[in-house]
Amino acid sequence: MRGVSVVHPELPEKAVLTGVDWEVMAGDSWVITGLERSGKTLLLETAAGLHPFPVGEVRLFGKPVTGMEGDELAWVRRRMGLVFDGRGRLFTSQTVFENVALPLCYHGNRTLEEVTPEVWGWLERMQLESVADQMSGRIGRALARRVALARALVQKPEVLLIDNPMAGLDMEHARWWRGFLGKLLKGDPAMEDRPVTLVLATDSPRTLMGLGKRFAVTQAGHWHLVGDWSAFERSEDPAFQGLLHDEE
């Protein structure tokens, strides 16, 4: 991203974040942190090519996203997985299995039966076998988020953007997420042993300590590149310190 202003699609005249200069390299792991409603979600969605931006340039895999459309844009989006905040915006009229199977069926022109082994493998990896046949709107929030993760990973994306992965999770689920994201960073066999580039947005950076190599902060409409965890801890900005110590 070069000099990008992030806007809400329904209020394009009012920038939520300005001057975003950000480069994500293959194998990076970024943690974007900031207070609630500071623009993290919109930044992630803009980075995924979902929202227009009035100022600046966004390049995905080296190509400017402006002007991309149709199959080219779809192809770029498939190389990026996006896990939305909350319940992950699952398709509530479908079962858990159908949610995970949809991208495989649609892009591979395959039936549900044909993708069953692949989908089932992901459900097992996410420990979701017991809820596979349930409607996605009826499962708990923590499991819904895992379904959203499986749905994003099933296409084996090179970059994974996750909005607030740890929000509202109990200890057990949080441990599972930390372990799983750690495996993705190192290169999981399910992802053909290729390390996945991670971008994680969070209100509480401490919950992602150890996962993020680089940190950036969205604060008061501005974008700040902080550096690694130690640089974040050493920062004297009271707002940054507030983010670090909010759980204490």
Partner 1 sequence: MGAFMLITLGTMATKYGKASRVIRPLIQEQILRAGIKVLPIICFLGAAMGVVIVGQTVLLLMQVGQVQLMGPLLVTVVIRELAPLTAALVVLARVGTAVVTELGTSRAMGEVEALEALGVDPIHYLVIPRVVGFTVSIICLTVYLILFALLTGYLMGFLRGMNLSLGEFGGMIASAMSWVDFPLLGLKTLAFGLIASLIMCYHGLAEPMLLEQVGRATTRTVAHTVVACLLCDALFLPVYLLL
Which residues make up the interface to partner 1 (CB under 8 A)? 9-10, 45, 48, 50, 70, 73-75, 77-78, 80-82, 84, 88-93, 102-103, 105-107, 109-111, 151-152, 155
Nearest CB to partner 1, comparing residues 6 and 243: 6
Give the shortest CB-151-to-partner 1 separation in angstroms.
7
State the SS3 of the chain: CECEEEEECCEEEEEEEEEECCCCCCCCEEEEEECCCCCHHHHHHHHCCCCCCCCCECEECCEECCCCCHHHHHHHHHCEEEECCCCCCCCCCCEHHHHHHHHHHHHHCCCHHHHHHHHHHHHHHCCCHHHCCCEHHHCCHHHHHHHHHHHHHCCCCCEEEEECCCCCCCHHHHHHHHHHHHHHHHCCHHHCCCCCEEEEEECCHHHHCCCCCEEEEEECCEEEEEECHHHHHHCCCHHHHHHHCCCC
Nearest CB to partner 1, comparing residues 34 and 157: 157
Give the shortest CB-93-to-partner 1 separation in angstroms.
7
Distance from C-alpha of 68 to C-alpha of 56, rounded to nearest angstrom: 15
Nearest CB to partner 1, comparing residues 36 and 172: 36
Give the shortest CB-245-to-partner 1 separation in angstroms.
32
Nearest CB to partner 1, comparing residues 17 and 47: 47
Give the shortest CB-109-to-partner 1 separation in angstroms.
5
Nearest CB to partner 1, comparing residues 152 and 217: 152
Give the shortest CB-74-to-partner 1 separation in angstroms.
4
Give the shortest CB-51-to-partner 1 separation in angstroms.
9
Nearest CB to partner 1, comparing residues 92 and 127: 92
